[in-house]
Amino acid sequence: MTAQTNQRIDTKRLWDSLMDMARFGATAKGGVRRLTLSEVDRAGRNHFKANCEAAGLTVRVDAIGNMFARRPGRDPSRLPVLMGSHLDSQPSGGKFDGALGVIAGLEVMRTLNDLAITTEAPIELVNWTDEEGSRFGHSLMGSGVWAGVYTQEKAYALTDLEGVSVGAALDAIGYKGAEPARPFPADAYFELHIEQGPILERESKQIGIVTGAQAQVWFDVVVTGQDSHAGTTPPSARRDALVVAARIIDLVDHLMRARGEDGRGTVGQLTVLPNSRNVIPGEVRFSVEFRHPDGDMVTVQAGQFTERAMALAAASGAAIDIHELFRIPAQPFDLACVDLVRQAAARLGFSAREIVSGAGHDAVYVARHVPTAMIFTPCKDGLSHNEAESIEPGEAGAGCQVLFEAVLARANRTL
Amino acid sequence: MTAQTNQRIDTKRLWDSLMDMARFGATAKGGVRRLTLSEVDRAGRNHFKANCEAAGLTVRVDAIGNMFARRPGRDPSRLPVLMGSHLDSQPSGGKFDGALGVIAGLEVMRTLNDLAITTEAPIELVNWTDEEGSRFGHSLMGSGVWAGVYTQEKAYALTDLEGVSVGAALDAIGYKGAEPARPFPADAYFELHIEQGPILERESKQIGIVTGAQAQVWFDVVVTGQDSHAGTTPPSARRDALVVAARIIDLVDHLMRARGEDGRGTVGQLTVLPNSRNVIPGEVRFSVEFRHPDGDMVTVQAGQFTERAMALAAASGAAIDIHELFRIPAQPFDLACVDLVRQAAARLGFSAREIVSGAGHDAVYVARHVPTAMIFTPCKDGLSHNEAESIEPGEAGAGCQVLFEAVLARANRTL
């Protein structure tokens, strides 16, 4: 139960560095607004870069703005072990979503320096560009371009609400790097992130051993009935699009619960037309998504959903259009990397459980090219994408220590 | 079956006058945008006033802009018989909602002139101010102030989205009259209006004999759950405000249908917060209304709704606030006036049925002080509050002829 080593990260230094980073884009309510490729992001990146260089790391930037801070290893022939996350935030975001994984990586580097450890393999700390997608509408952009999910040209052409393109924004803040944004050979990738959900807190677990990411299917649905006067239209003449939508929302909830605790099914966005008190809604547009660790379950759910939603619409004389936006297969993480996380947590005596990531993370795209694992730590009330996002220093320290152990073990493994 | 008289209104003149009035605020799609107390409304009022004066009528304007165009009777001691409706329209309104009742009244006056009829009682044609409520947010404003439902001060202080008050708008268009806006003794009030519903068209009836207006109860509902990540929050941890709202929408529909064809229950307006695809909705705000010809039924429904909606919220761990905005009792119309409409339709050989008004009308407020009846005519597909609102000249002519007969009979009745 006692740690194998006394090689401990410095929780106070980690926390202070997290608070330092949170000054960039700090909001009055204690959150962070650090939109990708903004002036605030530039200042945060510069601060991060300066800290990396002060720790003796060499910083490269690729063509989509991803930053790689390298600590050399003893054996120049070995592939680097990557770790990291993202420094951009939601418009009303918190201090820890993304920043924890990057700043904890910095703390890992500093600890290696303090302990004068030379790892066999080099280690690289990554700050992925635009994980959130809040400004340009495309989440996981930096890791997506790097992994070849999107082309660089497509990403450069995306514009924000003011018409500024990603390409122009990269130039403006000086982070359009020379290195091509494409996968380079790497030995592993580890990402520490807050859970953004309630499971670890509810079960009093310190560490989530993330075994992979859920499969997802996303739909846009439009139900079309007939708008008419709420006072004059008798029941038999109504084609109320909102009543049909309501039954479909209930259906989504039922299909989710039929899959037990691993099921996810959500209608998050909904618009009513004409949205007037005394007019029966003629049209309702809404989003539907299902997620499950098992891709086959998502396929089954998508089929059940489409069939039953069409039947509900038909029963009310409404038309329905169900447009599948995309389907993401389940992404299992690398068994050996996951095992390093599991072993580290056990060795350190941290309470832990396996967990499947419900949110999208850069790690999911990186995992297409590099053996990958993630580490989750609890966040208060499962709250994220919110200025009230909150974690404890001890929770951050535990996650960082597991990251340290896993990265060190991987970088020093016998090939 | 043959008409008792050959005193016929001129359907072509009526239709031409309706099309004349529709030029004021005409939209590209064939509708009308004649917002109350706007410059367009001023022009339409001036046109109407000139036509009234050309027909020998004397026009008065009261302090809230209601216009009264009087044709004298033989007996100066008799109370006037009123008829009319409103000339303002919805922002994207049609040519007939309101205008039909006013212009048909003008046609009644012109026909009386053509036939050189002197009625026993005087007759007054009314254009009520701001029936629609679209600009200042308060429907039935002119008739409501007249009937004492709202104070004149309260109405004057209402402002539009640009901050222009009703008082200032009345001054600006020169229609703040000298006469106090309050009920004066009158013998009867008749209002011709398009049904704004599908019943007459569906049953191929030419005339709706309106026996009264429905009771109504309106609620604002707020369901509060907890917004959280759609991918990371397991079913057992969800407090999805939209799922609760969906079940309440279904409840409203069921409560409506339990009352048969006379039932009305509608959720017309709904807002989701934060309204993001991958966030479980934390708050949903929506309107609920029930209507029924029998006020007791509305009371029962309001109670059932409140109790069951609270239970649905509680079952999902959500909070609910149900705020009753107002309750309007059923307003039966005057039996003798309604009978004049019934007799006129029968005498003229028009197919007719009794009907309860599902919409609000100036007649509902006038009925609090003056014996009142309404006449409905069909409108295509029951469509109203829409630029595509459409009626046939023959339908307008039939309604106008019934209005003529009823007003004439009332004005000449033996006291």
pLDDT value of position B3:
44
pLDDT value of position B276:
85
Report pLDDT digits (tens) over A142-164: 999 999 999 999 999 999 989 99
pLDDT value of position B5:
57
Q: Can you read off the two tokens belonging to residue A196?
A: 């953004």
CB-CB: which of B218, B263, B382 is closest to A237? B382
Residues B28 and B69 in one domain: yes
Q: Is the peptide bond before B274 cis (omega within 30 degrees of 0)?
A: yes
pLDDT value of position B359:
87
Three-class DSSP labels, chain B: CCCCCCCCCCHHHHHHHHHHHHCCCECCCCCECCCCCCHHHHHHHHHHHHHHHHCCCEEEEECCCCEEEEECCCCCCCCCEEEEEECCCCCCECCCCCHHHHHHHHHHHHHHHHCCCCCCCCEEEEEECCCCCCCCCCCCHHHHHHCCCCCHHHHHHCECCCCCEHHHHHHHHCCCCCECCCCCCCCEEEEEEECCCCHHHHCCCCEEEEEEECEEEEEEEEEECECEECCCCCHHHCECHHHHHHHHHHHHHHHHHCCHHHCEEECCCEEEECCCCCEECCEEEEEEEEEECCHHHHHHHHHHHHHHHHHHHHHCCCEEEEEEEEEECCEECCHHHHHHHHHHHHHCCCCEEEEEECCCCHHHHHCCCCCEEEEEECCHHHCCCCCCCCCCHHHHHHHHHHHHHHHHHHHCCCC
């009330």: which residue's tokens?
A381
Between the alpha carbon of residue A52 and those of residues A49, A94, A128, A266, B98, the distances in Å are: 5, 23, 15, 40, 73
Residues B205 and B346 in one domain: yes
The ranges of chain B with pLDDT < 70 are: 1-5
Any domain includes B2: no
Which positions in chain A touch B94 (Cβ < 8 Å)? none
| Structural domain ending residue among the three candidates A283, A305, A328 | A328
Region A274-288: what's the mean pLDDT? 93
Residues A22 and A122 in one domain: yes
Residues A195 and A336 in one domain: yes
Report pLDDT digits (tens) over B337-360: 999 999 999 999 999 999 999 888
Q: Using CA atoms in the order A35, A36, A38, A42, what is the torsion angle rounded to 10 degrees?
A: 120
Residues A188 and A155 in one domain: yes
pLDDT value of position B2:
39
CB-CB: which of A216, A280, A386 is closest to B268? A280
Any domain includes A6: no
Any domain includes B5: no
Residues A73 and A169 in one domain: yes
**Coil, helix or strand for B26?**
strand
Any domain includes A353: yes
Domain count, chain B: 2
Chain A, nearest residue to B389 by Cα: A228
Q: CB under 8 Å to A46, separation ≥6 — which residues? A: none
Nearest 5°: CA angle at B367, between B366 and B372?
Answer: 105
Which positions in chain B touch A214 (Cβ < 8 Å)? 231
CB-CB: which of B269, B281, B360 is closest to A272? B269
pLDDT value of position B383:
85
Chain B, nearest residue to A280 by Cα: B268
Strand ranges for A87-202 from DSSP E: 123-128, 188-194
Any domain includes B6: no
**ipTM of this complex:** 0.86
Region A271-294: what's the mean pLDDT? 94
Which positions in chain A touch B264 (Cβ < 8 Å)? 230-231, 233-235
Residues B186 and B313 in one domain: no
Any domain includes A271: yes
Which positions in chain A touch B272 (Cβ < 8 Å)? 268-270
CB distance A278 to A199 below 8 Å: no
Between the alpha carbon of residue A173 and those of residues A65, A82, A152, A415, B413, the distances in Å are: 10, 25, 18, 41, 87
CB contact under 8 A, B231 and A198: no
Q: For residue A231, what are the domain limits?
A: 215-328
pLDDT value of position B342:
98
Chain A, nearest residue to B244 by Cα: A250
Residues A201 and A104 in one domain: yes
pLDDT value of position A386:
85
- Give the C-alpha separation, B254 to B260, whole Å: 10
CB contact under 8 A, B385 and A275: no
The Cα of B376 is separated from the nearest Cα of chain A by a number of Å equal to 12
Quick one: what percent of chain A has pLDDT higher than 90? 91
Any domain includes A272: yes
Residues B86 and B200 in one domain: yes
Q: What is the CATH number of the domain that holds B247?
A: 3.30.70.360
| Structural domain ending residue among the three candidates B328, B346, B373 | B328
CB-CB: which of B234, B266, B386 is closest to A261? B234
Which positions in chain B touch A261 (Cβ < 8 Å)? 234-236
CB distance B363 to B189 below 8 Å: yes
Residues A136 and A184 in one domain: yes
| Structural domain ending residue among the three candidates B282, B302, B328 | B328
Report pLDDT digits (tens) over B216-252: 999 999 999 998 889 999 999 999 999 999 999 999 9
CB contact under 8 A, B358 and A246: no
Q: What is the CATH number of the domain that holds B158?
A: 3.40.630.10
Q: Can you read off the two tokens belonging to residue A89?
A: 């935030």
Residues A317 and A337 in one domain: no
pLDDT value of position A5:
57
CB contact under 8 A, A240 and B253: yes
pLDDT value of position B278:
85
Report pLDDT digits (tens) over A222-262: 999 998 899 999 999 999 999 999 999 999 999 999 999 99
Report pLDDT digits (tens) over A30-85: 999 999 999 999 999 999 999 999 999 999 999 999 999 999 999 999 999 999 99
